[in-house]
Amino acid sequence: MSPHDDHPHPAQTDDVSDLPHESGPSGGWGSMTGIARIFGDQWPSLSVTDTLRRLNKPGGTMCASCAWPKPANYHAFEFCENGAKATIWESTSARCTPDFWKDHTVAELRDWSDHDLESTGRLTAPMRYDAETDRYVEVSWDEAFAEIGPILKDLEPEEAVFYSSGHAGLEASYLWALMARVYGNNNLPQSSNMCHETTSVGLTKVIGSPVGTVIWEDLEQTDCYFFFGQNPGTNSPRFLHPLKEAKDRGAKIVTFNPVREQGLISFVDPQDLHAMTTGDPTIISDQYHQLRGGSDIAAILGICKAVIEADDTQGDVIDWAFINEHTHGFGDFIDFARTTPWDAICTECGLPESDLRDAAQVYMEAKRVIGVYGMGLTQQTHGSWNIGMLTNLLMLRGNIGRPGAGICPVRGHSNVQGQRTVGIAEKTKLIPMDKLRELFGFEPPQKDGLHIVDAAQGLIDGTVKAMVCMGGNLLRALPDTERLEKVWPRQRLNVMVSTKLNRSHLFPAQATYILPCITRAEVDQQDSGNQWITIEDSFSMIHGSRGHRKPASPHLKSELAITCALAKAITAPSPRLHWDAWQADYSRVRDLIEATYPNDFKGMNARMNQPGGFWRGNPAHERIWKTESGKAEFTVPGKLNALDFDDAPGRFRLLTMRSNDQFNTTIYGYSDRFRGIEGTRDVLLMNPEDMADAGLSHGDVVSLIGDAADGLHRRLDGLSVVHFNLPRGTVGSYYPECNVLIPVGLHDQLSKTPASKGVPVRIEPAL
């Protein structure tokens, strides 16, 4: 039992009569209370207020939480509740020093919760696992690299994997990718393999762009948003400001989500004195459609069908000029929309035809529409079809590549998109190998590397023998965590560059090292001074960032310094590889990035601190389609939902959720304020009629049983049932606890993104 683990279930504070669990607007005083609570919990030094003041402003520090863009015209406080939580969490005064291990063994810590592991504080020194005592012991940096080097050199290059989790800046990421390639592989999976890989692959297929087409000016000009499966209130709260501004000028917002998410319902701007005093919220969604989990294809098709019918009767609804000039495949798509009957569409998505026609009406009345999406669309077995369908809808009225319109995937980690841009990619076709050869005088490996799902399978099969991780917590973030915990220790080597202790440290391989790093808000002192780093946001804007805080320990190194030291330990010296000089002055790495990607990063060193960042451009924004046909592609999905299983008696569609009190596997606390769930994460959210049919009452304890076709047994015990406003047949429970239920093989068919929002489960009462 963890020391602070006083969160037994059931402990919901909500009243069951209080359906649909609405908790007051997002933002407002609730967000202040959320920040105050974590402040009291973590006791950061008071200089954290200085860090917060500098967040997301030119010349300041770019928030290490999400990738939401940073505007040129920033607010006095350009951070949100969750950005503040992330900053306070890493600025904690708590330290997990080598002495911590005097009192604890690794085996014992496996019973601790994710929250309590990270609550031990910032890691302060490099550590090596000692099997004899089952503890970590301090090592010097030199010893660590001297031991890691020979192990990796002894492996076949293909047996080692270099994972990264979207935090490290462009400079460290560029060198990380270079290091792997000089070492001899393209095994560079990244956290986006678990989230927006569906975008990288699926969106590229239809519009030739791996990233969204929208920029700030579009947000300022749009008159309509369609939201599919993205939750700005929790995951990108600064998005609520442009949404409010849009509502203030009369724009419309239509949302499709099985869960009524508070951030998409109403918002009180904490920086608006009048709103804070009166408590008057802005209503965000004009229409909120709670479709069944995984059924967006049907819902979007219904909207398209209504638009096509309106064009048939009234004319001039579809943008024929755009379709004729810019698209391919429209004939097949319009046939599909015409021939799919309304009752099939409505049965699948669980919404009446009138709802879809209402949504279509708003869509047709709007001149400029932005389609926003997140994990609700990407983390499905046919997530790529979802993205194709949303693109179909936007293209019907030419809503891509013109001002105020476009497609807007909202990214996750703060630099997750940028890491891909500068070479962290397992697919060789994405990398300018000729440039690398020319710049560094080596022969880059030609074979595609491993996606994170392939790496997980490789761990199971025994073909992957070393995971070297720049951040992250794979033993919680990946699917099938219980299976992976069993095979992870078989590795020859595991190296984890981390800021805090997490569960992935507790299943040591034959040799295991934890290498602690500074965070973005901390001073990154090198020979030429405190270094700037850069990141890329969701709108492909590049921003400089520099830390001002004293590092949590004098023994920490930067991610870039660790990369250079590792590179020297695992690759042969070469007159073209100046790892020491690059570490001494990161501007030299920016010159390399510019030399490798001249179109994207022209003048990088000079432009990085431009207010709002500099844009690396996007051909699809200018209606240049880098697809196979040279046109934007209409696509026809293979079926009306994005799942790999059919409905069956007793089978539910599980969507794994983030609470407002977590950042991925980092659990800040047990208050999912927006959903009215307090004091526990061990819950199963369920429709009241489904509960009645299953003979369950609010507070009953149940188990979830995996119901995938592979026949393996997967279960999660001890969840208390919560009476919740969800469509019938769809249930919700938290990520990462639920990851034991998701098969490694359950993923998007095109991009391999795990289908974390479309998991087949059954429910069993507790014994």
Ligand X SMILES: Nc1nc2c(c(=O)[nH]1)N[C@H]1C(S)=C(S)[C@@H](COP(=O)(O)OP(=O)(O)OC[C@H]3O[C@@H](n4cnc5c(=O)[nH]c(N)nc54)[C@H](O)[C@@H]3O)O[C@H]1N2
Q: Which residues bind Mo ion (CB under 5 A)?
A: 195, 412
* From the list ligand X, Mo ion, none, partner contacted by residue 502 (C-beta under 5 to 8 A by kind): ligand X
- Interface with ligand X by CB under 6 A: which range of 149-157, 224-232, 335-343, 669-677? 224-232
Is 404 a binding residue for ligand X by CB under 6 A? The answer is no
Toward Mo ion, which CB reaches closer, 195 or 589? 195
Cis status, amide bond into 736, omega within 30 of 0: yes
Toward ligand X, which CB reaches closer, 305 or 328? 305
* From the list ligand X, Mo ion, none, partner contacted by residue 374 (C-beta under 5 to 8 A by kind): ligand X
Among 296, 348, 426, 537, binds ligand X (CB under 6 A): 296
Is 82 a binding residue for ligand X by CB under 6 A? The answer is yes
Bridge partners, 526 (sequence order): 529
Among 26, 42, 635, 666, binds ligand X (CB under 6 A): 666
Question: How far apart, in whole angstroms, are the C-alpha atoms of residue 753 and residue 231?
Answer: 19
Q: Helix (H, G, I), strand (E, B), or coil: what is residue 475?
A: helix
Question: How far apart, in whole angstroms, are the C-alpha atoms of residue 551 and residue 522?
Answer: 5
Radius of gyration of the chain (CA): 25
Among 63, 194, 303, 683, binds ligand X (CB under 6 A): 194
Question: How far apart, in whole angstroms, are the C-alpha atoms of residue 711 and residue 139?
Answer: 44
Six-digit token pair at 545? 């960032």
Phi, psi of 240 (to 5 degrees): -65, -25
Is 167 a binding residue for ligand X by CB under 6 A? The answer is yes
Is 293 a binding residue for ligand X by CB under 6 A? The answer is yes
Termini Cα distance of the chain: 22
Question: One symbol per residue from 512 to 551: x for binding ligand X (CB under 6 A), - otherwise; what is it?
Answer: -----x-x--------------------------------
Please name the helix (run of DSSP H) or strand (run of DSSP E) that holds residue 556, with its range, or none: none
Of the candidates 409, 365, 357, 352, which has an alpha carbon nearest to the alpha carbon of residue 386?
409
Among 26, 173, 198, 231, binds ligand X (CB under 6 A): 231
* From the list ligand X, Mo ion, none, partner contacted by residue 257 (C-beta under 5 to 8 A by kind): ligand X
Bridge partners, 655 (sequence order): 732
Least CB distance from residue 201 to Mo ion, whole Å? Answer: 15
Give the list of residues 6+ apart from residue 528 with CB closer than 8 angstroms, or none.
Answer: 584, 585, 587
Contact present, 70 and 62 (Cβ < 8 Å) = yes
- Interface with ligand X by CB under 6 A: which range of 25-33, 161-169, 440-448, 703-711? 161-169
* From the list ligand X, Mo ion, none, partner contacted by residue 234 (C-beta under 5 to 8 A by kind): ligand X
Of the candidates 431, 446, 475, which has an alpha carbon nearest to the alpha carbon of residue 158?
446
3-class SS string, 348-391 = HHCCCHHHHHHHHHHHHHCCCEEEEECHHHHCCCCHHHHHHHHH
Residue with tokens 């639920």: 738
Instruction: Give CA separation, 182 vs 116, 186, 447, 452, in Å.
Output: 39, 9, 13, 20
Least CB distance from residue 112 to ligand X, whole Å? Answer: 13
Among 157, 376, 404, 423, binds ligand X (CB under 6 A): 376
Position with the least CB separation from ligand X: 374
* From the list ligand X, Mo ion, none, partner contacted by residue 492 (C-beta under 5 to 8 A by kind): none
* From the list ligand X, Mo ion, none, partner contacted by residue 404 (C-beta under 5 to 8 A by kind): none
Question: One symbol per residue from 466 to 485: x for binding ligand X (CB under 6 A), - otherwise; what is it?
Answer: ----xxxxx--x--------
Question: How far apart, in whole angstroms, are the C-alpha atoms of residue 190 and residue 418?
Answer: 11
What does the binding site for ligand X look like in residue numbers (CB under 6 A)? 64-66, 82, 118, 165-167, 191, 194-195, 228-231, 234-235, 256-259, 261, 293-294, 296, 374-376, 379, 410, 412-413, 470-474, 477, 497-500, 502, 517, 519, 559, 655-656, 658, 662-666, 735-736, 738-739, 742, 756-757
